[in-house]
Chain A
Amino acid sequence: MPLQIESRKSTVTEEGLPVEELVVNVGPSHPSTHGVGRVIVHLDGESITKADPVIGYLHRGIEKMAENRTYLQIVPLTDRLDYVGSMYANWAYCRTVERLADIRVPERAEYLRVIVCELQRIASHMMGIGSAAADTGAFSMFIYTFDVRERIIELFESLCGARLTYNYVRPGGVSFDTPEGWTDQVLELLGTLDASLDELDRLFFGNVITRGRLKGIGVLSAEDAVAWGASGPVARGSGVDWDLRRDDPYSVYPRFEFDVVLGENGDAYDRGRVRLVECYESARIIAQAIEQLPGGAVRPEGLQRLIAPPPGEAYDHIEAARGSLGVYLVSDGSPRPYRMKVRSPAFCNLALLSKLCEGHTLPDLVVVLGSLDPVFGEVDR
């Protein structure tokens, strides 16, 4: 694989000793790169002068494939974008199709979408926190968070039959209604969730080693977060008070009461902790949604399988676990889109890596990458 290295900077100290910059390659196969990401790191002694991420190892051409698929056939492709959170990836796409084709979603389907999206957000944050913890060496934490995630995945399996790529949220509604007693099982999970999250908080974020390794690393200021297009826990960890569920509300979110979690210092510790505390808020939203869940159909009447929206374009976005996930669709009147573009939050957040790592050491690079929480299916598409 060609490696683009500029000529190494070499200088000479006052005593006449030659000093050269060291270039280290991290990845694409590395236990801590959260998938197939590669970082080419330029080191001056121990401190990083430049960390250049190389991505594209999972570029599968989903946007090009979408031009030859009908609108319903693209839903499984969106599953595989952010594979840690397939539910909300489906939802962002379906919202854009519904906007373009002017489809009205029944109310029960909207509530079910909110419930599964918030459950998926908890599962995704568990993966994010767990892998960030495993990078710092706290491997047991990874296994503990996967326990919570496994319970949520069992619920999804009884709902739609799949464990990872659900294909559940479809244009117009959702694919299946809940089985008998599903909402009681969700409430049972929520009853134990708070205790599990408290335990994780105490074990990891209360640990003195974690604080030493995560506090003060990768500090991102609020202005930089906005200027560089960061969103989600990465921006909220720096104090940027922006959450699409509250500030640009969609679906039935205006009917729920929840708080937006903000960090103060913008370092890796705050970003991780924002993710954990968001899970409590998601649990609140799910409890309210189940209480208000109406009856009715989960798909609109008379929706054809072959959706052929009128020519035009639309953009819609949702608050995914990683930030604002948007889909831009251009239609030319045929049953296949003319162009589909996915605005991926992990892609925009990852652009910050070089900026956040300057001056830190190589182990801190791993910590920063964990706090940015990239999922390479979404970064590379």
Chain B
Amino acid sequence: MSIYEAIRAVVEEMAPDLGITVTESWDDAILDIPAESLLAVGRELKARGFDRLGMVTAVDRDEEFELVYRVQSRTLSAAAFVKTRVARERASIDSLYEVWPAADWQEREVWDLFGIAFVGHPDLRRILLPEDWPGHPLRRDYEDANVIKRPDYI
């Protein structure tokens, strides 16, 4: 049974009102969920053996931000992506700190670089840039007169 099928089997046992759709990408499983059910899905996954949160990151798709989480399970020997979307103007979502404390610094980094606020995080402040830095650099519309763009050689 491939990893994708194993994850599909786990998701089928979970409550259908969480709104999870599973897709496959390069032998990996992606769980697409609406932003409101993030905390509920997180608790369910933790209860079913996904004991590690590997990575929290965001991708700026120009109309919205796509949040990508990587959850791993040692008992099932499997891992999956959990993806959700937040609107650009009101970028905030629940924090997963109470489910996996590993989300602490990872969410602070996403706040620092993208400006997505995590509701329920114990200590949300900038981590990589100085406290008084204007703006969030990894957004695609970040303007900074200090940046010199590399000319296109290819």
Q: Which residues of A line the B interface, CB within 8 A?
A: 1-2, 4, 55-56, 59, 61, 63-64, 68-70, 99-100, 226-229, 242, 247-248, 306, 312-315, 317, 324, 326, 328, 330, 335, 338-339, 341, 343, 347-348, 350-351, 380-381
Contacts and interface: CB of A to CB of B under 8 A. Distances in A.
A228 B102 contact: yes
Contacts of A247: 74, 77
B-side interface size class: 35 or more
Contacts of A330: 59
B150 to A, nearest CB: 5
Contacts of B109: 347
B135 interface: no
B26 A312 contact: yes
A229 B54 contact: yes
Given A335-B154, A348-B105, 12 more contacts: A2-B131, A2-B132, A64-B138, A68-B150, A229-B52, A229-B54, A248-B77, A314-B25, A328-B57, A328-B68, A343-B70, A380-B128
A339 B113 CA distance: 13
B149 interface: yes
A209 B10 CA distance: 51
Given A68-B149, A313-B25, A56 B128 contact: yes
Interface in B66-121: 68, 70, 74, 77, 81, 100-102, 104-106, 109, 113
A164 to B, nearest CB: 24
A62 to B, nearest CB: 11
Given A61-B137, A63-B138, A227 B101 contact: yes
B59 A339 contact: yes
A110 to B, nearest CB: 18
Contacts of B53: 229
19 contacts: A4-B125, A56-B128, A63-B138, A64-B137, A64-B138, A227-B101, A306-B154, A313-B81, A314-B25, A317-B54, A326-B55, A328-B70, A339-B60, A343-B55, A343-B70, A347-B105, A348-B106, A351-B102, A351-B104
B70 A315 contact: yes
Contacts of A341: 55, 57
A248 B104 CA distance: 26
Name the 3 nearest CB pairs between A and B, nearest first: A229-B102, A56-B128, A343-B55
Interface string B121-153: 000011111111000011000000000011000
A339 B128 CA distance: 18
Residue with the greatest number of chain A CB neighbours at <10 A, chosen from B53, B68, B128, B154: B128
Given A2-B132, A64-B137, A324 B59 contact: no
